[in-house]
Structure 1
Amino acid sequence: METLPRLKAEIWVKALIRRCETAGAQAMVVRRGDASSGTVVVKVSRLDRTASVFVPTRAGDGSLVWMQATGAAPVAEPDADAYIEKQRKFDPDIWVVEIEDRQGRHFLQEPVN
């Protein structure tokens, strides 16, 4: 299988924020990770004290997919933040992008499981 060049994390994050803003949602970098290769964690706050957290993973064929790390349903925002903090302690190079959207849209272009 051919490996495609990976987009730098910083560029990917900027593109995600732009997609969010174009659609009328707010997005911001809450934690800046390694500019080249940091993993990106996406938190979607519904502005009702609930949130969802999405983390990247690989499908069986090696393609990028996103996993709903906190489960299919939104969780209390402190629970989402605790999950992110645990990941940050495990990987100090992660990026955290928070999207504020009442509809709960994540704006990720890859499949979400």
Structure 2
Amino acid sequence: MRLTSEFWVSALVKRVFAEGGFAAVESRGAREAGTIFIFVRDRFGRVRLFGPAAQASYDETRPSERRFVVLVEDEQDKIDIRLERERRFDPDLWVVEIELADAGNAADYFEVAAG
């Protein structure tokens, strides 16, 4: 059984805070199954946008886990444009911003699939 988007986002936010980072929900989507995008910023100013991985990247033994891929890296303008385009396509999406010491450590907080 897959966790609801709301529950998954709540757990992510709590985990980031518990480990000394910062997290904020910028946009709340559909509670049950809204698409989740994660915007990661680090102390060096690097930014990355993660979005849902393609179905083909899911592990057959864990089909209900959420996996993410890097959609845009190090270009804030392109991240903003991508999120706006995604909102036009699906207004029920979640956007979570997290700040970590190192943006490269995002896989410590959620599963990142090979691009």
TM-score by length of 2: 0.80
Instruction: Name the CA distance, whole Å, in 2 between partners of 1:91 and 1:55.
Output: 13
TM-score by length of 1: 0.81
3-state SS, counterpart of residue 69 of structure 1: strand
Q: Does 1:23 align with 2:15?
A: no
Unaligned runs of 5+ in 2: none
Q: For residues 1-113 of structure 1, what are the structure 2 equivalents within 5 Å?
A: 5-57=1-53, 58=55, 59=57, 61=59, 63=63, 64-70=66-72, 74-104=73-103, 105-106=105-106, 107-108=109-110, 110-113=111-114
Give the 4+ runs in structure 1 shifted more than 4 A.
none
Instruction: Name the CA distance, whole Å, in 1 between partners of 2:15 and 2:58.
Output: 28
Deviations 1:34-69 (A, max 9, x none): 011101100101244431011112216554431111
How many residues align? The count is 105
Unaligned runs of 5+ in 1: none
